[in-house]
């Protein structure tokens, strides 16, 4: 699995060009792309500015001396490289396994081009069958929000961090919603975000431009 993730991440890093503003994703596969980008900066003199999608990514990028900025301070993002928890044949995604879905979606939405890097295990025919959908909610009246989520046909569980409720970088909670299958990601995403108390959901629809699937030898793109 490590080889597949590395092959996908390294290939995606090749798309970074001098002078770009780039979004740096979060997760085990994105780390390989970040590492390769840092090596290109050192070896090639590549000049880029990056916007991290999580605190963990920010710390990693700073340690690798990648120049960073904020989404508030850039007019556009040329390219974002990120991972995913599930990808369907239409390039719809489930993200948020690492709890960074809100910032990831904000960066993806403002990107001209997004590359998603995965290993083969993340490719599925239908979203939500094997991976619960993360939904970020405000801490206030959380049980009331969950009751509304369950009306959409899912079973909800608080994400935990050992014995405590998991908190995102934004100090919100993550609810992992189990659907038997997500038949219409577009509609479900809209329905979820209509619920007061929901900050954002982990369905990324019409945001990914290219998928790179790492293989034991090489990669596949679509």
Same domain? 182 vs 211: no
Residues 108 and 167 in one domain: no
Residues identified as active-site: 104
Which among 70, 50, 76, 73 is positioned nearest to 61, based on CA atoms? 50
- What is the extent of the structural domain holding 117? 2-124+206-221
Domain check: are 69 and 159 in the same one?
Answer: no
142-187 pLDDT tens trace: 999 999 999 999 999 999 999 999 999 999 999 999 999 999 999 9
Say how many C-beta atoms besides its own lie within 10 A of residue 171's C-beta: 8
Query: Could you read off the pLDDT of 53-111 as tens digits, one per residue?
Result: 999 999 999 999 999 999 999 999 999 999 999 999 999 999 999 999 999 999 999 99
Average model confidence (pLDDT) across the chain: 97
Is 129 within 8 Å of 169 (Cβ atoms)?
no
117 and 167 together in one domain: no
- 186 and 210 together in one domain: no
Select from 179, 218, 204, 9 the least CA-distant residue to 91.
204
Count of the separate structural domains present in the chain: 2
CATH number at residue 185: 3.30.70.260
Same domain, 185 and 217: no
Residues 15 and 28 placed together within one structural domain of the fold: yes
Same domain, 93 and 36: yes
Q: How confident is the model at residue 1 (pLDDT cuts 50, 70, 90)?
A: confident
SS3 helix, strand, coil % of the chain, rounded to 5?
30, 25, 40
pTM: 0.96
Q: Report the distance separating Cα 131 and Cα 202, nearest Å.
A: 11
């Amino acid at each position: 699995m490590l080889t597949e993730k590395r092959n996908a991440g390294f290939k995606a890093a090749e798309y970074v060009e001098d002078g770009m503003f780039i979004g740096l994703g979060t997760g085990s596969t994105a780390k390989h792309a970040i590492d390769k980008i840092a090596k290109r900066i050192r070896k090639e003199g590549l000049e880029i500015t990056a916007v991290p999608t999580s605190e963990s990514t920010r710390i990693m990028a700073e340690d690798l001396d990648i120049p960073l900025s904020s989404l508030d301070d850039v007019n556009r993002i040329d390219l974002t490289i990120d991972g995913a928890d599930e990808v369907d044949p239409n390039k719809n995604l489930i993200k948020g396994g690492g709890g960074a879905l809100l910032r990831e979606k904000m960066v993806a939405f403002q990107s001209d081009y997004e590359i998603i890097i995965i290993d083969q295990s993340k490719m599925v025919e239908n979203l939500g069958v094997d991976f619960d959908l993360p939904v970020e909610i405000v801490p206030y009246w959380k049980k009331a929000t969950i009751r509304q989520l369950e009306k959409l046909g899912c079973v909800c569980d608080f994400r935990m961090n050992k014995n405590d409720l998991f908190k995102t970088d934004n100090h919100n909670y993550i609810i992992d919603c189990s659907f038997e299958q997500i038949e219409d990601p577009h509609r479900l995403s809209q329905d979820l975000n209509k619920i007061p108390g929901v900050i954002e959901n982990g369905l990324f629809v019409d945001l990914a431009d290219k998928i790179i699937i790492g293989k034991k030898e090489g990669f596949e793109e679509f």
